[in-house]
C-alpha cells in the first residue's frame, strides 16, 4: 500500500518548492498530502487541506485571522496545525510529515509535529536549524529530525534541489520502513533517570530487565525528564525509578537543564504509579565556564568537561530543593519508596571527593527523613548512588512495589 507524506508549508511563498517535492514524492511511489499554512496570498496549487481549514481547527475563522498582526497569525496557525495534524493522522490520511521554511513555517511545522505520537516520521527542513540557535524550541521532547537548508529556501537551484531531494528521500525511507507510533507491548515499562555522574542506574536496569520488565532511561538534563513525564501522563510508563532529580535543581536556578514548565515528579504523582525515588544530582548546579557565580571562592566545584562546571550547593539551597521534592511527593496517592544514598548523591560527592560535603548532604537527608508523609517508605543505603549496593537496593525496592501492586 502506498504511503502518504503530509507536506505542510506556505503555498504563497513556497509554491515552487512544494511542487518539486510533490512530484518527487509521487515519482518515488508515495502520495503527497499538501497542507497549506499560508497567511497572505494564494497559489496555483490546490492544497488537500486549505489554510482556512487549519485556522478553523484552532477555533478561528479566516476573516478574523486576516485582521491579526503577524505574530498573532503565526500563533493562530500553529494552534490550528497542532490540533489538525493529529486528527488527520488518526483518520489515516498520512503516514509521515515534513515541512520546509524559515522562522514562520518552522514554528508552524514543528507545532504540528510535536502534537504527533513518537514514532511517526517527522522532518523539518529549516533555515533556522543552524548557527547559534538551540534546537530545544524546535524539537521539544519529540523525535523531530531537523535538516538545515544551508541556503534560504527561495526557489529551486543547485543547492536547494539537493537539500530537498535528500529530505524527500529521507522521509519516504522512514515512511516505508518505519512509521510506527510508539506502542507498549506486554512488558511492564519502567521509566528511569540518570546522568553521567549517576550512571549506576545502568546496573539496576539490567537486573529489572531480567524480571521481564523494560526499562527506558532518560538523561536528566531537561528534555529527558520532560519526555518521561509526558510518557507517564500518556500511560506508556507504568512505574518509575526516578533516581536523578537534578532537573529540580536546574528548575530552582532557571538553568539550562531544567524541564521547563514541566514540574518534575508531577505526572507520576497524579497517575499514582509505583515510584522509587532518590536525590541523584541534587547537590550541585551546572554552570558554563564563562558564567560562573561570583561566590565561587566559597563553593566546592569540579569541571565536568571543558565547558561545564558542577558546583556544590550551599546548605540553604539544598534545603529549598528538599522542600520542593517533599512537597511534590506528598501529593502522591500511590506507592512511593525514597532511597537515600548516604555516601553521596553523585560520583564527585563520594567520601573524599571534590563535592563531598556532609553538612550540605545531611541537610537534605534530614528533610527526607522527617517531612515525607506517613506511608512513604524511606530506606537509607550506606553507599554512593553509583555503587552496586545502591543499585541493588533500588531494584529490590521496585520489586517490592510491583509485587504490592499485583496484589491489589
Give dist(CA 250, CA 22) in Å, integer: 44
Output the pLDDT for position 59.
92
Rounded to two decimals, the pTM is 0.81
Give dist(CA 337, CA 73) in Å, integer: 48
Give dist(CA 226, CA 251) in Å, integer: 12
Output the pLDDT for position 261.
64
Neighbours of 294 (CB within 10 A): 6
CA end-to-end distance (rounded Å), the chain: 45
Output the pLDDT for position 184.
64
Give dist(CA 262, CA 244) in Å, integer: 16
* CATH 3.40.50.970 is right for the domain spanning 189-407: no
In what side-by-side order are the strands of the sheet with 122-126? Answer: 31-36, 4-9, 96-101, 122-126, 145-148
Query: What are the start and end residues of each CATH 3.40.50.12020 domain in the chain?
Result: 4-177
Closest CA to 22 of 57, 48, 42: 48
DSSP string spanning 127-178? Answer: TTSSTT--SHHHHTTS--EEEE-SS---S--HHHHHHHHHHHHHHHHHHHH-
Query: What are the start and end residues of each CATH 3.40.50.12030 domain in the chain?
Result: 189-407
Retrieve residue 85's grid coordinates. 495534524
4-177 belongs to which CATH class? alpha beta
Output the pLDDT for position 185.
64
3-state SS class at 214: strand
Ranges of residues in the chain whose predicted pLDDT is under 50: none
Amino acid at each position: 500500500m502506498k504511503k502518504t507524506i503530509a507536506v505542510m508549508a506556505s503555498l504563497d511563498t513556497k509554491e515552487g518548492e512544494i511542487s518539486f517535492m510533490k512530484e518527487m514524492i509521487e515519482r518515488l511511489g508515495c502520495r503527497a498530502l499538501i497542507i497549506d499554512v499560508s497567511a497572505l496570498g494564494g497559489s496555483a496549487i490546490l492544497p488537500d487541506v486549505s489554510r482556512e481549514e487549519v485556522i478553523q481547527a484552532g477555533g478561528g475563522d479566516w476573516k478574523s485571522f486576516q485582521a491579526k498582526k503577524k505574530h498573532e497569525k503565526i500563533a493562530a496557525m500553529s494552534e490550528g496545525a497542532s490540533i489538525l495534524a493529529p486528527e488527520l493522522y488518526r483518520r489515516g490520511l498520512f503516514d509521515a510529515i515534513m515541512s520546509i521554511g524559515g522562522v514562520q513555517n518552522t514554528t508552524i511545522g514543528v507545532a504540528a509535529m510535536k502534537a504527533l505520537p513518537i514514532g511517526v516520521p517527522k522532518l523539518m527542513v529549516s533555515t533556522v536549524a543552524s548557527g547559534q540557535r538551540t534546537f530545544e524550541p524546535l524539537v521539544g521532547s519529540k523525535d523531530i529530525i531537523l535538516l538545515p537548508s544551508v541556503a534560504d529556501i527561495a526557489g529551486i537551484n543547485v543547492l536547494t534541489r539537493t537539500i530537498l531531494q535528500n529530505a524527500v528521500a529521507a522521509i519516504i525511507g522512514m515512511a516505508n520502513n518505519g512509521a510506527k507510533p510508539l506502542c507498549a507491548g506486554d512488558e511492564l515499562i519502567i521509566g528511569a533517570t540518570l546522568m553521567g555522574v549517576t550512571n549506576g542506574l545502568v546496573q539496576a536496569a539490567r537486573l529489572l530487565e531480567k524480571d521481564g520488565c523494560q526499562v527506558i532511561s532518560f538523561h536528566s538534563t531537561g528534555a529527558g525528564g520532560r519526555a518521561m513525564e509526558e510518557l507517564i501522563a500518556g500511560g506508556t510508563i507504568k512505574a518509575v525509578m526516578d533516581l536523578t532529580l537534578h532537573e529540580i535543581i536546574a528548575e530552582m536556578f532557571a538553568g539550562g537543564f531544567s524541564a521547563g514548565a514541566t514540574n518534575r515528579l508531577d505526572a507520576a504523582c497524579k497517575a499514582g504509579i509505583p515510584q522509587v525515588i532518590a536525590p541523584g544530582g541534587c547537590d550541585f548546579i551546572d554552570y558554563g565556564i564563562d558564567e560562573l557565580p561570583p561566590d565561587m571562592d566559597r563553593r566546592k566545584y569540579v569541571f565536568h568537561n571543558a565547558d561545564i562546571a558542577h558546583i556544590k550547593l550551599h546548605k540553604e539551597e539544598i534545603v529549598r530543593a528538599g522542600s520542593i521534592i517533599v512537597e511534590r511527593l506528598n501529593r502522591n496517592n500511590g506507592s512511593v519508596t525514597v532511597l537515600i544514598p548516604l555516601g553521596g548523591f553523585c560520583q564527585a560527592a563520594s567520601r573524599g571527593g571534590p563535592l563531598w560535603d556532609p553538612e550540605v548532604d545531611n541537610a537534605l537527608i534530614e528533610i527526607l527523613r522527617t517531612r515525607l508523609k506517613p506511608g512513604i517508605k524511606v530506606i537509607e543505603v550506606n553507599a554512593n548512588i553509583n555503587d552496586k549496593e545502591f543499585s541493588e537496593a533500588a531494584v529490590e525496592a521496585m520489586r517490592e512495589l510491583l509485587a504490592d501492586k499485583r496484589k491489589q
